[in-house]
Structure 1
């Protein structure tokens, strides 16, 4: 699957049907451990049911390999000794990273009278301000990068963590295998991976009623812990830099700016067809994308094959977060990808005042932008199908009054709706943690917590 991963990063789509067939064939044959679950999140046409099957097979092989070592540890848990619930957040992204930007204010907002908040970090210290801020935001910041999987699990267990919250799942540089040793009595899949982890390594997945509506429970090994609003945190203290001129950003002086700053592997040929159709229907418009030297040539060539001049694709260089948020205001509309949506890039755009158009599917990863739009009171930007997605984006691009009304509503809702209310969000999340802990203390198995207050 390494070839598939490289091809997606390069936006080389010719073999997508072949790879989809190989994946389905492997799942049908129950070939354990051959297909990384992360690949299925962005592979068009894969269902949530297939994503769970892949995760189960992936974990089966790894659980079998570590069975003897895990049996040798066989952690037991002592009764709690204090009034506070001890939370352990597990990640390699406690530095300048999208997850850290989303969560920094949440960590700082936890009620320290009810919770002890610890970090278990197996990622590098990049020496930047975000790492320092996060270290200050936790009561204990434990560096486990040098430890083996078993040693890290032993350290977490020795610290008597009550609820261990995994922020990585099957994403890059993960050590989610620590959770297979069950070092904490409650383990939670949260934010970092938009799908199930399979097996029994996590008891709960933090979600909301749009992401995982009632009836989708069979596609997840975890019990649902429902938040009102949206599952994604985002603070209110993210500074927005000075907006550059269009020329400084590499954009033409005039013309409508469609934008998508998602990673290249999320772009599919079906989505790119829609984007090129919009460029063709809106004279003078451009598509502003995140720069990726390895993929830019393929994307320009794909545009040309679809009748669009390659120079109508504009690629943006990486910038520090403050500068990135500042330049986002130059975009008119953000176009989402599917089946792997914009996540942090969507909430960043909304924070910067730019509307996002999305078309949700049937998987967690394909419904995140819709969840965010519901939470900020803009469900009218959620399209029912690809044709409606095209028509919605085209209508905003060709009817200035309609776009102005949407932007005015976004500005008005920005601080008046749940999406960026980090204090309320933290309180809701803490109540979920308390409910998980109470069920555990009552001897109850994991079960649905909270209410799915919004369906499809």
Structure 2
């Protein structure tokens, strides 16, 4: 009877103590356990709980003394058992605190577990997770806690806990040098490679693009290949990372390997796109690039014949920009646009099938009244130190925010110091700093009730294409970043009277909206202090200097040959060549071309990239004439050249990319240098080189144009864009 009564009392005390613990009354809970110890001196759990209550009151020494008292006079085997029981009590409370988001107390409790068992790997991993929650994790804990050493020596690792901790570390500080060491240490311990890869790959994408660390991202993926050497997804990203940090040979090699492993038509199309990308930056590989283009067209024909309607989103995303490099190789817009439009349409059909619920939800939006303020959304991954970023800023700056609310949607907001990106983030009525997930950004656009969504990326980014395809805004427009995407969900493509021929509407799915003068205008450019001098390049002061400053994609061999013919015809002329590409291959290519055309190689100069845009613009002044590329003209470089007052020779074609320089020259009032044939390109190049007076006249025209030309009037351009927005919205209202 007495024993039963005692059991009842103890149960009541324990229940009461638990209630005190939950309420935070640690002193009262401690009193309960002290009474329990008086009644049941031999029950060790009372000591463990009493010590915990003292610890929670900050009485660490008293807590440790209580635990030691509970273990006094125990045999080694008993002490081991009791230690396990104590750790279980502490772990339970730590887990409860973590659920309550009381991470500081949870961390403190686990520190005491560490003191009791310093080599408990699971506890150490939990400590790291909590340090990340508290934002106190530095990365050095991986060695100071002995985690890496323990992982290397442990026979087994709690995979679930380790993967969760690794995911936390990678999202918090993936660039710490010990993170790579941690991953290497655990490779042989991973028994779930798929889970490990699923954690690591998205982080490498973030590292390569948001943190601008493609080389380190490639190293991480090379480790993943040890687990699955023929994983196509890993190989795709790895090839892209190599190419991003200009390791062209490895990028091409991995892309070819990826293509050889590809079984499905979609996988082959994307692998060949990656291969094309690598080959295009190496002029010596252009012949192979043309062969790859032919293979790609054959794959597209097969795809369009099949018309698969059950593609998943991760497959569709590969299609949007797979046709990206065609305009660099050929000026055939009716053919190029047909393939692009068909691929974009197929992509949209599949995506809208997969995301039917979201698409239907976006379509149910109520239309606002005519008197309401229009909401204009700008969507891009380039609102930073990028050509689009430099050019779009004047439209954003001059927007009339009394008549329009403007919203900025950053895709893959870069986690680096970028003053232009920061400037943009301050200009909008609201700014959304998105990641790489299209659905999150599309939902935000829909929630913000954007009326007109402006896509600045076109097919330069697949995530942008996914968002536009979902159609989160009732009116959608492509402007500036590239040619039109061909996505049916895009309503308009902004152009002007010159950048597209009158017949262009025949092969565009979007309605071409022509602004009255120019599709782009800027108020000017910041110019720094030049770092190039003729004497330092061993060029005579009286020489005629030609310059071509474009990346490897644009250096079509046919146009490069025309440039060599110009140099040959102009005595005492030199040719400066600059731009992102495989520098060794570029030099070899131009040297060989010079020899074939009878030009002394000593007249060529290969100059490095400048460390800033301001210096790049200042260094343009070393040139007397800039030679444009074809069939893909310069755009930002053309604007910078004209702003610096330097005559330009451009070859005009039929596609958008082959008419950028043409529209810009027309909008500064300079026709000298506009060529409609290859022969005219050579003639203008030679004439401007030989006729110093003509060069001076053109330079004066360009300098005078700064005060009068539409190209240099960002405010007027903004008013024209705003008028276009209002008319687009009016048309939309009238259709409803």
Indicate the SS of the match to 1:215. helix
Structure 1 partner of 2:533 = 246
Is 1:403 aligned to 2:403, yes or no?
no
Indicate the SS of the match to 2:503. coil
2:294 to 21, 36, 40: 21
Structure 1 partner of 2:559 = 271
Structure 1 partner of 2:326 = 40
Q: How does 1:55-454 map to 2 (within 5 A)?
A: 55-73=340-358, 74=360, 75=362, 76-80=364-368, 83-123=372-412, 124-145=414-435, 148-172=437-461, 174-194=463-483, 196-236=484-524, 238-247=525-534, 250=537, 252-254=539-541, 255-292=543-580, 294-307=582-595, 308-311=599-602, 312-443=604-735
Quick check: 1:171–1:193 contact (8 Å CA) kept in 2?
yes
Indicate the SS of the match to 1:349. helix
Q: Deviations over 1:301-320 (max 9, x none)?
A: 44334423444132232331
Structure 1 partner of 2:280 = 8
Deviation at 1:251, TM superposition (A): 6.1
Quick check: 2:626–2:641 contact (8 Å CA) kept in 1?
yes
Indicate the SS of the match to 1:153. helix
C-alpha distance in structure 1 between counterparts of 2:368 and 2:438, whole Å = 25
C-alpha distance in structure 2 between counterparts of 1:102 and 1:379, whole Å = 23
Is 1:49 aligned to 2:334, yes or no?
yes
C-alpha distance in structure 2 between counterparts of 1:180 and 1:249, whole Å = 52
1:7/1:298 CA distance change after superposition, 3 Å: same
Indicate the SS of the match to 1:442. helix
Deviation at 1:20, TM superposition (A): 4.2
C-alpha distance in structure 1 between counterparts of 2:522 and 2:465, whole Å = 24
Query: Superposition RMSD on alpha carbons, in Å?
Result: 2.2
Work out which structure has the larger RCO, using CA pairs closer than 8 Å and 6 or more positions apart in sequence: 1
1:259/1:174 CA distance change after superposition, 3 Å: farther
Quick check: 1:95–1:131 contact (8 Å CA) kept in 2?
yes
C-alpha distance in structure 1 between counterparts of 2:320 and 2:493, whole Å = 24
Quick check: 1:125–1:131 contact (8 Å CA) kept in 2?
no
C-alpha distance in structure 1 between counterparts of 2:299 and 2:526, whole Å = 47
Indicate the SS of the match to 2:607. strand
C-alpha distance in structure 1 between counterparts of 2:702 and 2:578, whole Å = 23
C-alpha distance in structure 2 between counterparts of 1:150 and 1:39, whole Å = 27
Indicate the SS of the match to 1:192. coil
Indicate the SS of the match to 1:358. strand
Quick check: 1:36–1:54 contact (8 Å CA) kept in 2?
no
C-alpha distance in structure 2 between counterparts of 1:432 and 1:60, whole Å = 26
Indicate the SS of the match to 2:344. helix
Structure 1 or 2: more helix by fraction: 2
1:367/1:118 CA distance change after superposition, 3 Å: same
Name the stretch that deviates more: 359-368 or 129-138: 129-138
1:425/1:170 CA distance change after superposition, 3 Å: same
Name the stretch that deviates more: 374-383 or 64-73: 64-73
Figure out how many residues of one structure are paired with residues of the other and give that number: 440
1:69/1:305 CA distance change after superposition, 3 Å: closer
Quick check: 1:95–1:125 contact (8 Å CA) kept in 2?
no
1:133/1:49 CA distance change after superposition, 3 Å: same
Indicate the SS of the match to 2:634. coil
Structure 2 residue ranges without an equivalent (≥5): 1-271, 308-318
